[in-house]
Amino acid sequence: MSRIGVFVCHCGENISRTVDVEQVAKAAGEIPGVAYSCDYKYMCSDPGQTLLKKAVAEHKLDGVLVAACSPRMHEKTFRKAAESAGLNPYLCEMANIREHCSWVHEDREKATEKATDIVKLMVERVRKGKSLAPITVPVTKRALVIGGGIAGIQAALDIADAGHRVVLVERDPSIGGHMAQLSETFPTLDCSQCIMTPKMVDVANHPNITLYTYAEIEKVDGYIGNFQVKVKHKARSVDESKCTGCGVCMTKCPKKKIPNEFDQGHGMRPAIYVPFPQAVPNTPVIDRENCTMFQSGKCGVCAKVCGPGAVDYEQTDSFTVEDVGAIVVATGFKLYTIDRKPEDSPIQGYGEFGYGTIPDVIDGMTFERLASASGPTGGKILRPSDGKEPKQVVFIQCVGSRAREKGISYCSKVCCMYTAKHTMLYHHKVHDGQAYVFFMDARTPGKGYDEFWRRAVEEEEAVYIRGMVSRMYQKGDKIVVMGSDIQVGVQVEIEADLVVLATAVQAQDGADLLAQKLGISYDKYNFYSEAHAKLKPVECATAGIYLAGACQGPKDIPDTVSQASAAAAKVMTLFAKDQLERDPVVAKVNEKYCVGCFACKKVCAYGAIEEKEIRDRQGNLVKKVAYVNPGVCGGCGTCQATCPSKSIELDGYTDEQIMAMIEAL
């Protein structure tokens, strides 16, 4: 006969307000096989855990059930307590009578009855449970960081400084990301390049970091502690091992009028180029789409002037496979772009700000490049159309953000702050100029942020107009901006020299495709999803993969750096042991009955199902069966539900346990 202990938690008033916990504990004591039953105010507290340990010893319990909150919250807590009392931790289960009962019901009598039923069926699960041993898998103490923006750089440096090897993969020719494009950063207005460039150099020089730029992730196999990542190295047409970064090739290139992506298309670059002066690595890449040599075969100047002979027109894409134990995803964001309204567009208001048609309507990142000393205007705020200094500038917030009709219902978080920063930069550079800001709300969630915003209004004399822009059109060399000030109830019309749009932060192009390669989840906006919003904010549901920065959602630089260091800390925790212990709740195949249909393999979200050959003593193939890799299995049970021959069972959720639970009801 089993000797099971049942502990019913009040959870303060979360449970006891709706459920009669004393009655549930009394009813549990009458269930056959229950040797001890009680209720306590806070089972997760130290006295509550001590009560559990004491009961296991005194009543010689061989199973424990804690009726409390979600197992996601405290299952590990109670299993550790049971283990310290000498009980197998996997013979300790939780009955969720909070989220599944007290929080969803109002009738106390019915809620108590339901809670009692939940306890009954979970007692049967404990009774039919078996002692399980944790799964151990070896750990490759080498990390992969995807993305070379500030998040990827911070994570890579933290992991490398801890003594572990890191592979940093960036798809652009240089690391730096969007932060390298910024002029100053809020709320301190310190130079972005001044604080970013040293970190970029540290990455290039760190002995524990292998840097791959102009590279992309092609394929990911394996599981936590043992990932195999195929990296595609795009052809730069320049041999990095030979190039000295002298820049002669860029100087001599005859084709120099190509819009520079780093300057948002407002500066010009040659066909062989580095994105910006502080680029890391300082190795050029040839833009094959615009290079005369690749288009007609009639140039080759860069190869002729290159002393080390680094230019290689025959270079092709190459691949390497990296073995890593953990992956940090830090792929960043892109900015929403308003284009000209297509004739057949069903979206009303699409392109209403004239972006792409009125030359002096620009986005916030373009303004950053105009304000930057390394930008196309040398730090002077000049109109793109005629190069004149604008005397009246209108900033429009929430362009794309909070716009359900455009499929972006969320707030981009940083727009209010960077618009306030832009008004300051403008006022510092154009002393007799006037900045106007159309806004819906001022959202300033951060240390010193509200004070910074107030400074823009009170000290830098930016005029904030609470209202939306209804119409914009070109009038000579001016842009007429029409809107309303809802605070005073008047119509506003401003003849602006320049209009700056605070565009929404969006997930990177191809974010969904990378997520599918990695086997991680993402939301409807293609931002990556964390395992738990509060308790696991940097972890994915797929073990061993961590998130950092704006790939998870809109973030400012301080939050991004904090999250990058948090992800690095998780990687270091994983690397602290030579072997990783994993939860043993994994599926197992009964090879005797498996027919090799591999329906389980088709539905496995984790890629844990493999094909295994069964051979006789002579080496002849008898049949192929399914095999579950315990290091990869996530314990979801989909394979068990799918298997037509019922050859798969999930430890902790066996058919015997499930049937006993059903019979208990």
Looking at 576, 605, 623, which one is the last position of a domain? 576
Asked whether residue 500 falls in the same domain as residue 512, the answer is no
Residue type, 176: G
Between helices 655-664 and 108-127, what is the axis angle to 10°? 150
Measured between alpha carbons, how far is 285 from 237 in angstroms, rounded to an integer?
Answer: 6
Asked whether residue 38 falls in the same domain as residue 118, the answer is yes
Cis amide leading into 281 (omega within 30): yes
Strand partners, 145: 168, 328
235 in Cβ contact with 192 (< 8 Å): no
Asked whether residue 356 falls in the same domain as residue 284, the answer is no
363 in Cβ contact with 339 (< 8 Å): no
- Quote the pLDDT of residue 607: 81
The single-letter DSSP state of residue 550 is: G
pTM of the predicted model, to two decimals?
0.83
Q: How far is CA 165 from the centre of its chain?
A: 22
* 188 falls within a domain: yes
Strand partners, 34: 4
* 35 falls within a domain: yes
Q: Which residue is it, tokens 């009669």?
A: 20
168 in Cβ contact with 121 (< 8 Å): no
- Quote the pLDDT of residue 34: 95
147 in Cβ contact with 177 (< 8 Å): yes
Asked whether residue 148 falls in the same domain as residue 219, the answer is yes
Asked whether residue 171 falls in the same domain as residue 62, the answer is no
* 243 falls within a domain: no
* 239 falls within a domain: no
Domain carrying residue 301: 248-305
Asked whether residue 384 falls in the same domain as residue 434, the answer is yes
Looking at 530, 548, 576, which one is the last position of a domain? 576
Measured between alpha carbons, how far is 285 from 290 in angstroms, rounded to an integer?
Answer: 12
Asked whether residue 184 falls in the same domain as residue 323, the answer is yes
Read off the CATH number of the domain in which 625 is found. Answer: 3.30.70.20
Q: Which residue is it, tokens 């140039």?
A: 299
Angle at CA of residue 224, ends 218 and 229, nearest 5°: 20
3-state secondary structure of 301: helix
Asked whether residue 345 falls in the same domain as residue 327, the answer is no
CA dihedral 372, 374, 380, 382 (to 10 degrees): -90
* 146 falls within a domain: yes
Short-list 48, 42, 55, CA closest to 12: 42
359-376: buried (b, 16+ CB within 10 Å) or exposed (e) per residue?
ebbbbbbbbbbbbbebbb
Measured between alpha carbons, how far is 137 from 223 in angstroms, rounded to an integer?
Answer: 10
* 581 falls within a domain: no
Q: How far is CA 457 from the centre of its chain?
A: 34
Asked whether residue 53 falls in the same domain as residue 98, the answer is yes
* 241 falls within a domain: no
Read off the CATH number of the domain in which 13 is found. Answer: 3.40.50
140 in Cβ contact with 225 (< 8 Å): yes
For 430, the token pair is 């154009």
* 396 falls within a domain: yes
The single-letter DSSP state of residue 184 is: E
Measured between alpha carbons, how far is 59 from 78 in angstroms, rounded to an integer?
Answer: 17
Short-list 193, 203, 105, 91, CA closest to 152: 203
Read off the CATH number of the domain in which 544 is found. Answer: 3.50.50.60
Measured between alpha carbons, how far is 349 from 390 in angstroms, rounded to an integer?
Answer: 27
- Quote the pLDDT of residue 344: 43
61 in Cβ contact with 38 (< 8 Å): no
Measured between alpha carbons, how far is 24 from 491 in angstroms, rounded to an integer?
Answer: 65
Count of domains for the chain: 5
Measured between alpha carbons, how far is 273 from 250 in angstroms, rounded to an integer?
Answer: 6
Measured between alpha carbons, how far is 115 from 112 in angstroms, rounded to an integer?
Answer: 5
- Quote the pLDDT of residue 403: 85
Asked whether residue 570 falls in the same domain as residue 632, the answer is no
Looking at 506, 521, 549, which one is the last position of a domain? 506
H or E, element range at 530: none
Asked whether residue 360 falls in the same domain as residue 444, the answer is yes
Averaged pLDDT in 10-residue chunks for the chain of 665 residues: 90 94 96 95 94 95 95 92 94 95 95 96 93 90 97 98 97 95 94 92 97 96 92 95 93 93 92 94 94 92 94 95 97 84 42 79 94 92 94 94 87 95 95 95 92 94 92 92 90 95 94 94 94 91 93 96 97 93 90 93 88 91 92 88 93 90 89
Asked whether residue 257 falls in the same domain as residue 390, the answer is no
Measured between alpha carbons, how far is 270 from 280 in angstroms, rounded to an integer?
Answer: 18
Q: Which residue is it, tokens 């208990």?
A: 664
H or E, element range at 458: helix 449-458
575 in Cβ contact with 581 (< 8 Å): no
Give the pairing type, strands 268-269 and 333-335: unpaired
3-state secondary structure of 428: helix
For 386, the token pair is 């005629």
CA dihedral 515, 517, 520, 522 (to 10 degrees): 20
